Amino acid sequence: MPVATLRSVVLDCPDPLSLATFYAGILGGSPRVSEDSEEGDSWVVLSGHDGTQLAFQEVSGYVAPRWPEEEGGQQFHLDLTVDDLDRGEEQVLALGAKLLDAGGPDRDFRVYADPVGHPFCLCVDR
């Protein structure tokens, strides 16, 4: 029997509402400022989408992950499944993502950074 279940994945960032809105554009759902927030928009939850809950926490002095560097690198990343890599790429770039690694024509994923530098992959199941 497991000890716990995964409640949410929390991303540090300088502007939680802005980053939650970016991910809402990819995953659906809507950003909701947490009732537990002590400083305005310091904690925002993306709700109303399928999958594990994402939350966004304001961090003063935020430093973006560096990819693909080993020291101070990506720390973690999200793998997001799409039906079509080209269409998914077009959509995430329009939302403000940055392409980090397109890979080759036979690879089933591409690597991007969200607007504050967290790496994420768009993947297709083959």
Q: Is residue 3 part of a domain?
A: no
Does residue 32 have a pLDDT over 90?
A: yes
Does residue 45 have a pLDDT over 90?
A: yes
Q: What is the mean pLDDT of the chain?
A: 88
53 and 14 share a domain?
yes
Q: Is residue 68 part of a domain?
A: no
- Terminal C-alpha separation, the chain: 32
Q: Is residue 46 part of a domain?
A: yes
What's the rounded mean pLDDT across residues 20-42?
83
By CB atoms closer than 10 A (0-12, 13-18, 19+), residue 19 is buried
Show the domain range for 99: 78-123
pTM (2 decimals)? 0.84
Q: Is residue 70 part of a domain?
A: no
Scanning the chain, the segments in alpha helix (DSSP H) are 16-27, 85-95
Question: pLDDT tens digit string along 86-118?
Answer: 999 999 999 999 999 998 888 899 999 999 999
* Band of pLDDT at residue 24, cut at 50, 70 and 90: very high
The CATH code of the domain that includes 40 is: 3.30.720
What's the rounded mean pLDDT across residues 51-63?
91
The CATH code of the domain that includes 83 is: 3.10.180.10
82 and 53 share a domain?
no
Q: Is residue 69 part of a domain?
A: no
Range of weakest confidence among 2-11, 50-59, 94-103: 2-11
53 and 82 share a domain?
no
What is the count of structural domains for the chain? 2
* Band of pLDDT at residue 71, cut at 50, 70 and 90: confident
What's the rounded mean pLDDT across residues 25-39?
83
